[in-house]
Amino acid sequence: RFCTVSNLATIINAKVPALLRNLESLGFEGLTHDYILDQENATLIADDYGFEVVLNDETGIDIFPEPINELLLQTRAPIVTIMGHVDHGKTTILDYLRNSSIVDQEHGGITQHIGAFSVTTPVSKKSITFLDTPGHAAFLKMRERGANVTDIVVLVVAGDDSVKPQTIEAIKHAKKAGVQMIVAINKCDKPGANPDKVVADLSRHEVDVEDYGGDVQVIRVSGKTGLNMDKLEEAIVTLSEIMDVKAEVEKVPAEGWVIESHLKKGLGSVATVLVTRGTVKPGSILVAGQTYCRVKSMKDEHGKVVRAACPSKPVEVWGWRDLPEAGDSVIQAKDEKLAKKVVDNRANRAKTIDEAKDVDAINKMRKKQRDEVDRLKKVEELKKYGLEGTAMNAAAAEDTCKQISFIIKADVSGSAEAVKESIAHLGNDEVKVRVLYDAVGPATETDLERAKTSGSSILAFNIDTPKDIERKAFTAGVDIKSHNIIYHLIEEVTEILTSNLAPEV
């Protein structure tokens, strides 16, 4: 994917100086034979030399959702997230709903937390799926990754506390996500509850409550006593019917979202998948993020084996090669061969992005090194022409230069060297890097002591720092900067140098 100018010259049968001149005329500045070109630029140049570049088209392979076939759409259960201020009763309401569903289904056992659960409403006998992690963090984390899982947000507001900062935040999130909202005024069993005040406060925060002629339903409930919880469930069903939530159940590749994942002792990687389209069955091949699985078995939140998971059904799925992440989108592949190809390509693409950034850092580092050599040559020349005073000035300038000191700790000696090389030449006449020493292995107490006495920061590359050392470093006021990607480390060191420059006057 990358090649140097000299590599490219060999491939296209050109002389390096001629190629460099040509590159300059194409707009590249100050290039050298060892400059690393990316695929796009290399292709451009090869093209200019009359070579046809054939890219390995397998690198583009991925699976994309098929267009929706309106004729196959069927009503599905709405997917609901509970949000609201801390202590307003989100967990209590979820617990009540979960327990009522156990009684309904005569499972009697304990419902396991798998990230979501389904209930059947007491009156209309319709199904609702609740996401089991209340609060904004989970909702936002999924949305950040592009996962639009929720159809409806139930905004819980305590009747005795009314609208609070996190209530306002939840309103904002729901609006921004374009998700429909239902208000549950909770703790209405309490004598101090004042639901009318809550309604007034909500309308002041631009919630279009039905009490004031809007279309946001408001239900006065108690998660503790169960007061009006059936009304809340029916309100959700009514809204979902108005919204007309639908999905194809058959004849399309299955799709969904990973909502939770973890390693189970002896069982391997397990992920809860919320199916949004199609049907997942044992034997289905699913791709999620950079991993895939042939579904070994599926279980619901009651630990019951599921043979077919339709849209809005949350199931624990066994059989993943690696652990997928919450928020990963899931899509069915027609066979394992394709799944493997897609996953490999996704991993390669991610790697290319990181490598491209590394390449950029290396090119910049080389330019700095060359500039430094040029500067030293100039000083030598000045000396030769008897202009030692000027040279002396340069040396004097060197003396007043501020040095920022670092200790490098890395996983292997090769990377310790690489880090040292990439940062040693950073800086300018005012501020420079000084590498106190570099060594292999995690930071130790000795490193901390030396860092403290010398005023150095520790750079940990590709290696974890033990927790107790981190704590000791914090108390001793020693900075440990950990990185796995070299250009991130270079950026950080550059920032430290910049922050040490004298302010401009």
Stretch of 60-68, 186-194, 336-344, 350-358 contacting ligand GDP, by CB under 6 A = 186-194
Asked whether the CA dihedral 22, 26, 31, 36 is positive or negative, the reply is negative
Q: What is the dihedral of CA 42, 44, 50, 56, to 10 degrees?
A: 60
311 binds ligand GDP (CB under 6 A): no
Q: In whole angstroms, how close is the CB of 112 to ligand GDP at the nearest point?
A: 19
Q: In whole angstroms, how close is the CB of 111 to ligand GDP at the nearest point?
A: 16
Selected from 98, 126, 173, 187, the binder of ligand GDP by CB under 6 A is 187
Q: In whole angstroms, how close is the CB of 83 to ligand GDP at the nearest point?
A: 9
DSSP 504: P
# residues near ligand GDP by CB under 6 A? 16
189 binds ligand GDP (CB under 6 A): yes
Of 76, 149, 104, whose CA–CA distance to 311 is shortest?
Answer: 76
CA angle (333 as vertex; 289, 318 as ends), nearest 5: 65
| Diameter of the chain measured on Cα atoms | 100
Q: In whole angstroms, how close is the CB of 88 to ligand GDP at the nearest point?
A: 5
Q: In whole angstroms, how close is the CB of 302 to ligand GDP at the nearest point?
A: 22
CA-CA distance, 184 to 169, in Å (whole number)?
16
Q: Which is nearer to ligand GDP, 167 or 261 (CB)?
A: 167
Q: In whole angstroms, how close is the CB of 250 to ligand GDP at the nearest point?
A: 38
- Please give the residue whose beta carbon sits closest to ligand GDP in the complex: 89
Q: In whole angstroms, how close is the CB of 154 to ligand GDP at the nearest point?
A: 12
Q: What residue spans of 117-227 are helical by DSSP H?
A: 136-144, 165-177, 195-204
What are the E-state strand segments in 341-410? 402-410
What contacts 105, CB < 8 A, 6 or more positions away?
Answer: 120, 302
User: Which residue type occupies 100?
Assistant: S
319 binds ligand GDP (CB under 6 A): no
Q: Which is nearer to ligand GDP, 93 or 361 (CB)?
A: 93
Q: What is the 3-state secondary structure (H, E, C) of 25-83?
A: HCCCCCCCCCCEECHHHHHHHHHHCCCCCCCCHHHHCCCCCCCCCHHHEEECCCEEEEE
CA angle (434 as vertex; 432, 437 as ends), nearest 5: 165
Query: Among residue numbers 37 through 76, which ones bind ligand GDP (CB under 6 A)?
Result: none
Q: In whole angstroms, how close is the CB of 171 to ligand GDP at the nearest point?
A: 16
Q: In whole angstroms, how close is the CB of 95 to ligand GDP at the nearest point?
A: 7
Selected from 190, 231, 364, 402, the binder of ligand GDP by CB under 6 A is 190
**178 is written with which tokens?**
């374009």
Q: In whole angstroms, how close is the CB of 125 to ligand GDP at the nearest point?
A: 25
Q: In whole angstroms, how close is the CB of 157 to ligand GDP at the nearest point?
A: 10
Binding track over 82-121 against ligand GDP, x by CB under 6 A: --x-xxxxxxx-----------------------------
**125 is written with which tokens?**
């006998």
**470 is written with which tokens?**
């981190």
Q: What is the dihedral of CA 218, 219, 223, 225, to 10 degrees?
A: 150
What contacts 118, CB < 8 A, 6 or more positions away?
Answer: 77, 101, 127, 128, 129, 130, 300, 301, 312, 313, 314
User: Which residue type occupies 144?
Assistant: E
Gyration radius of the chain's alpha carbons = 31
Helix (H, G, I), strand (E, B) or coil at 452: helix
DSSP-assigned states of every residue in 92-148: HHHHHHHHHHHHHHT--SPPP-SSEEEEE-TTT--EEEEES--SHHHHHHHHHTT--
First-to-last CA distance in the chain?
Answer: 46
Query: Among residue numbers 211 through 270, which ones bind ligand GDP (CB under 6 A)?
Result: 222-224
Q: Which is nearer to ligand GDP, 191 or 283 (CB)?
A: 191
Q: In whole angstroms, how close is the CB of 225 to ligand GDP at the nearest point?
A: 7
Stretch of 33-41, 184-192, 317-325, 448-456 contacting ligand GDP, by CB under 6 A = 184-192
Q: In whole angstroms, how close is the CB of 164 to ligand GDP at the nearest point?
A: 11
Binding track over 441-480 against ligand GDP, x by CB under 6 A: ----------------------------------------
Q: Which is nearer to ligand GDP, 87 or 381 (CB)?
A: 87
CA-CA distance, 179 to 80, in Å (whole number)?
10
Stretch of 9-17, 183-191, 228-236, 458-466 contacting ligand GDP, by CB under 6 A = 183-191
Q: Which is nearer to ligand GDP, 232 or 443 (CB)?
A: 232
Where does this chain bind ligand GDP (CB under 6 A)? 84, 86-92, 134, 186-187, 189-190, 222-224
